[in-house]
Structure 1
Amino acid sequence: MAEPFTAAATTVWRHGQASAGSRLVPEETAVAFTYGGSTQAVMMATPADLEDFAVGFTLTEGIAASPADILAVETIESDLGIELRIDLAEARAERLTARRRALAGPVGCGLCGIESLEEAARAAPMVAGGTVFEAAAIASAMTSIAALQAMNARTHAVHAAAFWRPGTPLGLLREDVGRHNALDKLAGALARAGLTGQGGAVLLTSRVSVEMVQKSARIGAALIVAVSAPTALAIRTAEAAGITLAAIARADGFEIFTHPERIRFAEPVEEGRHVA
Structure 2
Amino acid sequence: MPEDITFNQPIIKYHNGAFIDQSDDIATEFPLTLYVNQQEFATIVCSPTNLEELVLGFLASEGVIFRRADIQNIHLDDSKGFCHITLNREIEQHYGQYTKRMISSCCGKSRQFYFVNDAATSKVSMTETKITAQEIFSMMDALQEQSTDFKQTGGLHNAAISDGKDFYIHRSDIGRHNALDKLFGYCIEKRIPIRDKVLIFSGRISSEILIKASKIGVGIILSKSAPTDLAIKLADDLNITAVGFIRNETFNIYSHPERVI
TM range (shorter): 0.7 to 0.9
Alignment of 1:13-52 (within 5 A): 13-52=14-53
Q: Which runs of no fewer than 5 residues in structure 2 stay unpaired?
A: 104-113
SS in 2 for 1:39: strand
Q: Matched residues in 1 for 2:259 and 2:20: separation?
A: 52
Tell me which amino acid in the other structure corresponds to 1:165. D
Q: Does 1:216 find its partner at 2:223?
A: no
- Indicate if the aligned counterparts of 1:123 and 1:214 stay in contact, CA closer than 8 A: no
Identity of aligned residues (%): 26
Q: Matched residues in 1 for 2:121 and 2:77: separation?
A: 34
SS in 2 for 1:203: strand
User: 204, 207, 210: which is aligned to 1:207?
Assistant: 204
Counterpart position of 2:106: none
SS in 2 for 1:145: helix
| Cα distance change on mapping 1:74 and 1:250 into 2, 3 Å | same
- Indicate if the aligned counterparts of 1:206 and 1:227 stay in contact, CA closer than 8 A: yes
Counterpart position of 1:60: 61
- Which has the higher Rg, Structure 1 or Structure 2? 1
| Cα distance change on mapping 1:12 and 1:217 into 2, 3 Å | same
Alignment of 1:224-243 (within 5 A): 224-243=221-240
Shift of 1:78: 4.4
Q: Does 1:117 find its partner at 2:115?
A: yes
- Indicate if the aligned counterparts of 2:205 and 2:228 stay in contact, CA closer than 8 A: yes
- Indicate if the aligned counterparts of 2:202 and 2:223 stay in contact, CA closer than 8 A: yes
Tell me which amino acid in the other structure corresponds to 2:147. Q
Q: Which runs of no fewer than 5 residues in structure 1 stay unpaired?
A: 104-110, 265-276
Q: Matched residues in 1 for 2:31 and 2:55: separation?
A: 13
Q: Does 1:129 find its partner at 2:120?
A: no
Q: Matched residues in 2 for 1:150 and 1:217: separation?
A: 27
Superposed CA offset, 1:197-239 (max 9, x none): 2221111111112221122122221100112211211111111
Q: Matched residues in 2 for 1:148 and 1:112: separation?
A: 37
- Indicate if the aligned counterparts of 2:61 and 2:121 stay in contact, CA closer than 8 A: no
SS in 2 for 1:218: helix
- Indicate if the aligned counterparts of 2:32 and 2:43 stay in contact, CA closer than 8 A: yes
Alignment of 1:90-239 (within 5 A): 90=89, 93-96=90-93, 99-100=94-95, 117-120=115-118, 124-167=122-165, 169-239=166-236
Tell me which amino acid in the other structure corresponds to 1:140. S
Superposed CA offset, 1:68-111 (max 9, x none): 212332111345xx112122121xx2414xx13x76xxxxxxx9
- Indicate if the aligned counterparts of 1:204 and 1:225 stay in contact, CA closer than 8 A: yes
Shift of 1:158: 0.4
User: Over aligned residues, Cα RMSD in angstroms?
Assistant: 2.1
What TM-score does the superposition give when structure 1 sets the normalisation length?
A: 0.83
Aligned residues: 249
